Homo-oligomer: A and B are copies of this chain.
């Protein structure tokens, strides 16, 4: 699973420069996306937000496993109000990106941005969001407003989305829970999502170019309170 980079670094310091080349080779190997992860705590630790992807496709079978895992999440009165819209059509993924850029430029113009700075602003924005759109797949997590208890879906939606992200990590895929960076209106318009559905989030799904460092172990400290706040 997660590559013990620090141990590589430490061994290079201990062994001196003679070992450095070997160590660099080992570190290059360490940058390879880690294999699938079946240890529960390993999945928890190494599930990080990923923002740049390799083009390797995400097969149906893997998508189904992620969605099936998401659909084991608890829901209010067992209503399971979820829908997972999978997008792998490159033209539609690119269309989402371009719609994001158009909205950013509209904001630039409305905010009184100078015409001579517009190209640079566009480049900056494309750089900021470009990594997401290197993903070969996206999943839009939705809840159905016609579910049995629609006013409870605001709990059910994120619960299932969270399980989806973990399952994706277990299978070797990176994700990131996106709200504002790809606005609701963009997904709704480009993917023609009916008003019947409320979007929880959208996430790219793909093999990471590099996994971020795993979470440190056991950081309960400030989050936990015993008996009273």
Contact = CB atoms under 8 A, between A and B. Distances in A.
Contacts of A38: 39-41
Contacts of A88: 226-227
Contacts of A194: 229
A162 B73 contact: yes
A167 B44 CA distance: 9
Contacts of A219: 68, 71-72
A65 B218 contact: yes
Interface string A180-223: 00000000000111100100110000000000000101111001
Interface string A36-66: 0111111111010100000000001001110
A170 B38 CA distance: 13
B227 A67 contact: no
Interface stretch (A23-31, A79-87, A102-110): A79-87
Contacts of A121: none
A87 B227 contact: yes
Given A47-B72, A74-B49, A74-B177, A84 B223 contact: yes
B191 A40 contact: no
A191 B226 CA distance: 11
A164 to B, nearest CB: 10
A174 to B, nearest CB: 12
Contacts of A191: 228-229
Contacts of A82: 223
A226 B86 contact: yes
B71 A223 contact: yes
A159 B82 CA distance: 15
A119 interface: no
Given A84-B220, A84-B224, 16 more contacts: A39-B40, A41-B69, A44-B163, A44-B166, A44-B167, A45-B72, A68-B218, A85-B227, A85-B228, A86-B225, A87-B227, A155-B158, A155-B179, A166-B166, A191-B229, A192-B228
The 4 lowest CB-CB distance pairs between A and B, nearest first, are: A158-B158, A67-B220, A64-B220, A159-B162
